[in-house]
Copies of this chain bind each other. A is one copy, B any other.
Amino acid sequence: MPANTFGELFRITTWGESHGGGVGVVVDGCPPRLEISEAEIQSELDRRRPGQSNLTTARSETDTVQILSGLFEGQTLGTPISMMVWNKDANSAHYADMQHVFRPSHADFTYQAKYGIRNWQGGGRASARETVGRVAAGAVAQKLLQQQASTQIIAFVSSIHTIEAVFDATQVSRELVESSIVRCPDQQATGKMEQAILDAKAAGDSLGGVIMCIVKNVPLGLGAPVFDKLEADLAKACMSIPATKGFEIGSGFAGTRLFGSEHNDPFIKGKDGKTHTTTNNSGGIQGGISNGEDILLRIAFKPTATIAKEQKTVDDTGKETTLAAKGRHDPCVLPRAVPIVEAMVSLVLVDHWLRQKAQCG
């Protein structure tokens, strides 16, 4: 059961609970002779790690990556790359109350129902900590795409709660995003979002929002007809990120309100002599296959389930009770979810790039 494995040719397997030895990933299928350093992987993990700012969980983890195999003298060997991060600041005491009481809208109840056992000291595999492995693997994928096709993957926060950012997606840069404490390219919105998160935190509550991702310089021809359409694989990748509730490619739900004659993207001969489209409702994908235009997608994240406010729930005997959760949780996961989205998108693209080389290369 490949439940902890993602990808066909560039295949990652993640492991680890939030409390226990550590978390890690094995990357299999990476082409040989890619130059990559621990520092490059660490720099992506630093964008994901807790304790970056006053907006994130106070759990203090340096998340220092160790590469255990697959590299030799700074280059990939073509064999599995095993990377891990040790758990350091796990505090199980915070979870004592939750040993027998299920957090509403969290995975406690369903894990118990499915497996008949769960590591209640932390969120187990449902913890955001599991995504360490995704981000480490995504750093390798992004390096490969960047090197092979100058592909650039930029995710950012486009809304938090009711605050909508204003931006031109095609102009957003990694630098602009990183200059915002909430990773939003709109400076004004950033201030309001920061305040809203702090307010929610103070109230023992939490916020959700939308992350957008744009991919530039996508190789033409990635994806496949039928089940492995590029947008279908991107949807799965993004909806596998904890707390996601929706996915849109290109025009998304808004596109359902257009006529075909409005929605269709006319083809033209571009200045580069190649075929391009004048609009991009397709979001860079037609018939499941990339058309060379920017890929544009949006992901809905619900507000964090674990909150300090008291809520109605049941315990593991089915008895009704209440819970005000302790522990150190992000009042809003979006700022830290940005590198996770980039990682998942890069994993889909690199996988389809290898598949394209195999069948049509």
| Residues on B with beta carbons closer than 8 Å to the beta carbon of A264 | 104-105, 305, 307, 311
State the oligomeric state as a number of copies.
Answer: 4
Check B33 against A256 for contact (C-beta < 8 Å).
Answer: no
| Residues on B with beta carbons closer than 8 Å to the beta carbon of A318 | 269, 273-275
| Residues on B with beta carbons closer than 8 Å to the beta carbon of A303 | 255-256, 258-260, 262-263
Check B255 against A240 for contact (C-beta < 8 Å).
Answer: no
Mark A160-191 against chain B: 1 for CB-CB distance below 8 A, else 0: 01100000000000000000000000000000
Other-chain contact of A109, B5, B13, B66, B275 (Cβ < 8 Å)? B275
A149 within 8 A of B: no
Report A123 CB to chain B, min CB distance, Å. Answer: 8
Mark A260-274 against chain B: 1 for CB-CB distance below 8 A, else 0: 111111111100011
Which stretch in A47-55, A56-64, A72-80, A335-343 binds the other chain?
A72-80
- How many residues in A have their beta carbons less than 8 Å from beta carbons of B? 154
A300 within 8 A of B: yes
CB-CB under 8 A for A210 and B32, given A3-B224, A115-B78 = no
CB-CB under 8 A for A111 and B246, given A68-B22, A227-B5, A302-B256 = no
A328 within 8 A of B: no
Check A28 against B4 for contact (C-beta < 8 Å).
Answer: yes
| Residues on B with beta carbons closer than 8 Å to the beta carbon of A285 | 110
Report A215 CB to chain B, min CB distance, Å. Answer: 16
Check A105 against B245 for contact (C-beta < 8 Å).
Answer: no
Q: Specify which of A115, A304, A305 lies most central, judged by the most chain B CB atoms within 10 Å of its CB.
A: A115
- Tell me the chain A residues, 209-255 only, with Cβ under 8 Å from chain B: 209-210, 220-221, 223-229, 231-240, 242, 244-253, 255
Other-chain contact of A126, B117, B205, B251, B287 (Cβ < 8 Å)? B287
28 pairs, A vs B, C-beta closer than 8 Å:
A1-B359, A5-B227, A13-B26, A15-B80, A32-B360, A72-B118, A78-B114, A104-B266, A105-B263, A107-B287, A109-B267, A109-B291, A110-B288, A113-B289, A114-B221, A114-B360, A207-B259, A228-B240, A231-B239, A235-B236, A255-B302, A256-B301, A260-B304, A260-B305, A266-B311, A281-B302, A355-B358, A357-B357
- 9 smallest beta-carbon distances between A and B, as pairs: A107-B287, A206-B260, A236-B236, A358-B358, A3-B224, A110-B289, A260-B303, A21-B68, A15-B80
